[in-house]
Amino acid sequence: MRRRDPFDVVVVGAGVVGSATALACAREGLRVAVVEPRVPAAWHADAQDLRVFALAQDGIDLLDDLDVWGAIAPHAQPYRSMRVWDAAGGGELCFEAQRYGRDALGWIAEGALLADRLWSALQLAGVTLRCPQAVVGIDGDGVESGDGSAVALRLDDHSTLRARLVIAADGADSKLRDMAGIALVRHDYGQRGLVAFVQTEMAHADTAWQRFLPTGPLAFLPFRDGRSSIVWTLPDAEAARLLAVDDATFCAELTRAFDATLGEVVAVSQRAAFPLRRQLAERFVAGRIVLCGDAAHAVHPLAGQGLNVGLRDVIALRKMLRAARMRGADIGAPHRLARWGRERRSESAVAAWTFDGINRLFSTDAPLPTLLRGHLLGLGGRVPGMDGLLWKRAAGV
């Protein structure tokens, strides 16, 4: 790319957040390039991806606006109710889409399905795809120096990409975040999220279930083929043990942990476990570089909100870029980005600490927290309208 001809936007990382950001920018009429080291695997209905997301309504609205939801929805599963309760007893929180005049509370979709549909849309939208390639450095008149009108990124094939705005969406271990000199506040939970598909005796009834155990929450999410996708939060050593046991032992232990709520667990797929951490970048912006998604923040998955918070970064960014373009202003002007960064960081910090607090309160069998959480769930269930308010907040509507 010649120096006098920069892209409007370069997005680094084509996970769901990076791809949605790139597509949003392209739909705004901007010239966009994406750098991604791994070619996304094509999605097939019969080769399911263990990474499954509960998508909130505002994220779905974004994907719909970007014209990709239509290609995702036929393979996704709506969930119409949600039940949350504590193994130690007390009240139960219950959410029903019908009560809020909705058809669904949200949708369950595989990560690979979202990535595949977004990748195809990027190709159709004429976005320049530099894949497989990675960013290895920030060059020349980069973050704060030079004439300040663009950032130059060095790629691993020795080429350079210049852009007025660079989006770092390269995940929780973001290299670009480090290159931009942005520090990170990080806490390892010492827990893993064990994921798998399971077949249960009883139907999932389009319901997302979450039981809090002293070792961590256990979620059963309804999947499109009648099975459930589980996310079982466990201490590291316990997760390692449950990855290693045979299927029959695993199913028996899972049935017990879930109190046989859907009857016996009769079959399990492959299993995988992801380390859980809370992370928050000290700032989301450095000059013309902004962090989005897990590069900026990672939250405990107990509320299924990590990707949803990332998609909210995209929604806010799109609004800001649109406003700047309507005024004919520079889309990467550092003062404008800094305002976006402050707002997004403050919302992400609230999410990270809220889920952190819930995890602490529920992942213990100490008497006082046990009493308190039973009361809290009961209160949430009894106060009229409270469930609706909680759901609206989680759904971003």
Ligand X SMILES: Cc1cc2nc3c(=O)[nH]c(=O)nc-3n(C[C@H](O)[C@H](O)[C@H](O)COP(=O)(O)OP(=O)(O)OC[C@H]3O[C@@H](n4cnc5c(N)ncnc54)[C@H](O)[C@@H]3O)c2cc1C
In the complex, which residues of this chain contact ligand X (CB under 6 A)?
12-18, 35-38, 53-54, 134-135, 169-171, 175, 193, 195, 231, 274, 293-294, 301, 304-308, 310
The 3-state DSSP class for residue 308 equals helix
Nearest distance from C-beta of residue 44 to ligand X, angstroms: 19
The two three-digit tokens of residue 29, written as one number = 């009429």
Query: 191 phi and psi, to 5 degrees?
Result: -125, 160
* Cβ proximity to ligand X, 231 vs 257, nearer residue: 231
Give the dihedral of Cα atoms 97, 54, 352, 85; nearest 10 deg: 60
* Cβ proximity to ligand X, 229 vs 255, nearer residue: 229
* Cβ proximity to ligand X, 163 vs 324, nearer residue: 163
Q: Which of 169, 192, 171, 168 has the alpha carbon at shortest distance from 301?
A: 192
Query: 372 phi and psi, to 5 degrees?
Result: -60, -45
* Cβ proximity to ligand X, 8 vs 170, nearer residue: 170
Nearest distance from C-beta of residue 200 to ligand X, angstroms: 19
CA angle, corner 361, sides to 359 and 364, nearest 5? 90
The two three-digit tokens of residue 287, written as one number = 């000059």
* Cβ proximity to ligand X, 55 vs 324, nearer residue: 55
* Cβ proximity to ligand X, 13 vs 91, nearer residue: 13
Nearest distance from C-beta of residue 328 to ligand X, angstroms: 31
Nearest distance from C-beta of residue 367 to ligand X, angstroms: 29
176 vs 376: CA distance, rounded Å: 41
Cβ burial, residue 350 (10 Å; 0-12/13-18/19+): exposed
Nearest distance from C-beta of residue 112 to ligand X, angstroms: 11
CA 284: distance to chain centroid? 17
Nearest distance from C-beta of residue 304 to ligand X, angstroms: 3
Q: How many CB atoms lie within 10 A of CB 138?
A: 20
